[in-house]
Each structure stands twice: as C-alpha cells, then as structure tokens.
Amino acid sequence: MPNDGFSPEEGEKPCCNLSKKAKVGLGIFICVLVVATVIPVVLKWYPAPKHKEWNGPGTTPHFPEIVLGRCYTYTQVLRPELRHMDCQEIAKAFMRAFLSKDPCSSAEQDYQQLLRLTNQTIPCGTSVFWSKSNELAHQYTKVQWAMFTLEDMLVGYMADNLDWCGDHSSSDMNYESCPHWRKDCTTNPKSVFWDAVSRRFAENACGVVQVVLNGSISNTFDRNSTFGRVEIHNLYPGKVPTLQAWVMHDVGGVHRHSCSSPDINDLKLILRNRNIRFTCQDDYRPIKFLQCVTNSEHSSCNSVM
C-alpha cells in the first residue's frame, strides 16, 4: 500500500490529556450539538412542500379508495355485464390524470386514458340529460332502470359528488383546497373532467334523447350550464333525430318557465340549427308521479295519482 501520509497509525496522534471515557463523552456531546443545530436550520431552509391554497374544497378524504370501491360496486354489483373491466387500471388512470400536475393547467387530454378504459355503450334512446334538476333526474333514472344519466354511467358514477386535485410540486393529492372554477381557474381537474365526460356522453348518444329541466328557477335553460354549453353542441344530428325536453315544476312551487317561454325557444332554435327535432312537455307525467310520491297531499297531485 502506498504511503499517502494519512495512514491511521500516523493520523492518530495522542491528543490532550483526556481519558478515553471523556473523549467518547465529548464526541457524543459534539454530535448531539451538531444535530440539534443543523436539523432545524436545514428544515428552515427546506420546508416540507406546502400546497398552494385555493378557494374550492380540497380533495374528498379517501378519494382513491372511494373511486376504486365505486368502480367495483358498479362493475360487479350494479351492472355485472361490465365485470370484465379492470378497476385497478381505471383507478390508476384516474389518479394519473391529475397527480403531480398544476391544477390550473388541466386538459381533456389528461383524461384520455381514463375515457378509453371506461368506454361504455348504452342502447339508443336511453340517454337522459339534466340541468338544475339533479335530484329529480336521478330519481327518474333510478325508477327507469333502462335509462341513463351521465352519473348512471361508470365514469360519472365513480366521480359523482367528489372533489379532487393535485399539485405539480407533490405526488400527493391536495386535501386542503382545490381551485374554484370561477374564483381560481376553469381549467381545474374536476371541471375539465366533467366537460370531457359530458362531451363524450353526448357524442355517444343515439336515438331519441331526453332532458329534464327545472321550470321553477329563472335559468331553466342556461347556455352556461354543462347541458347548454357542452352537451347540446356535441349531439350528432345523424344519430340523434329528436331531443325531448321535460320542463318540471316543484310541487306547489313557482312556474318561472314553461315550454312556451322564450328561454326554451332559444334551446329549440339551437337544436333546429343543428337539424335536431325538439319537443317539449310541461310536468311530464312519469316524472310528476315521482314528485307526488313525497307530496301526495298537494292538490296538484290529485289528478296525477
């Protein structure tokens, strides 16, 4: 071995007049001192990455578990004809769409793989759209088991009523807050997701389709709603000959709009320009029945029952 001048024998010069015990004690003391001062300084320089603060609610707790569980519930229990679908892959594709990404730069492209894995065909004439009538429209398809709203499709079922977003500086979900579509940005993971899946739901629709509208509010037909902004513009006229609208009024509530309102005429004109026939009916009986189940005493329900 070449003598480089740092062999242990040479380096270990007898030091000071301390006993071995004292030297060990001093060593430990210095170590503790270094650790105690260095760690806080390092932590101060490199704080744990903190998520940015947004104005919308954070990711729903247990989001990955909920998505995976709903996927299995849907494909194994509710619609077993889809039991071949790979829920592990589907849930992974969902997470990959937004994790480690800037939550204000979300794009429909991010969800392509999820959309591909959850491709689901339903029979013609079974698509039900809704706007401002969330609860009633879903009561309707719950009874009419053969009809489908977007939330009755696998992809909509998995995400219904959940919040989610990530952060480009972290591979975790942001459980504290997520971008609000109006106060922060419209290109957030959740809004982009619903636009993407709504567009596909409309594109895939065939036969006569239906929409449940809310006649008890001022914006019965809202051009800024998902229905007015995305869905009606993505129906294929070659596949969808007719859209049937049901304008429903709350039992005992106000009638802001009906089929003869100018608002509804707007909808009719948009569809006419797209070569899709439009029909409209106020308080469609099969849906009115459902409203009357919980309002059976109301006079307007006498003629229905």
Ligand X SMILES: *[C@@H]1O[C@H](CO)[C@@H](O)[C@H](O)[C@H]1NC(C)=O
136 is a site residue for ligand X (CB under 6 A)? yes
82 is a site residue for ligand X (CB under 6 A)? no
State yes or no: is 31 an active-site residue.
no
Catalytically annotated residue among 206, 280, 292, 301: 206
190 is a site residue for ligand X (CB under 6 A)? no
CA distance 128 to 216: 20
Least distance to ligand X, CB of residue 215, Å: 7
Strands 209-214 and 242-248, bridge-based pairing: parallel
214 is a site residue for ligand X (CB under 6 A)? yes
Q: Between the CA of residue 272 and those of 87, 215, 233, 277, 278, what are the distances in Å?
A: 41, 21, 12, 6, 7
Helix 87-96 with 63-72: angle, nearest 10 deg: 150
251 is a site residue for ligand X (CB under 6 A)? no
Least distance to ligand X, CB of residue 121, Å: 5
128 is a site residue for ligand X (CB under 6 A)? no
Q: Which of 121, 161, 299, 303 is the binder for ligand X (CB under 6 A)?
A: 121
> Which is it for the CA torsion 196, 202, 205, 209, positive or negative?
positive
Q: Between the CA of residue 71 and those of 43, 85, 275, what are the distances in Å?
A: 41, 9, 37
149 is a site residue for ligand X (CB under 6 A)? no
The DSSP code for 233 is G
Least distance to ligand X, CB of residue 78, Å: 19
CA distance 49 to 55: 19
Q: Given the complex with ligand X, which of 3 and 121 has the nearer CB atom?
A: 121
CA distance 212 to 210: 7
Query: Across-strand partners of 177?
Result: 57
State yes or no: is 16 an active-site residue.
no
Q: Which of 87, 235, 248, 280 is the binder for ligand X (CB under 6 A)?
A: 248
224 is a site residue for ligand X (CB under 6 A)? yes
Q: Which of 37, 100, 119, 218 is the binder for ligand X (CB under 6 A)?
A: 119
CA distance 229 to 163: 21
Q: Given the complex with ligand X, which of 56 and 58 has the nearer CB atom?
A: 56
Q: Where along the sequence are the contacts to ligand X (CB under 6 A)? A: 116, 119, 121, 132-133, 136, 214, 216-217, 223-224, 248, 250
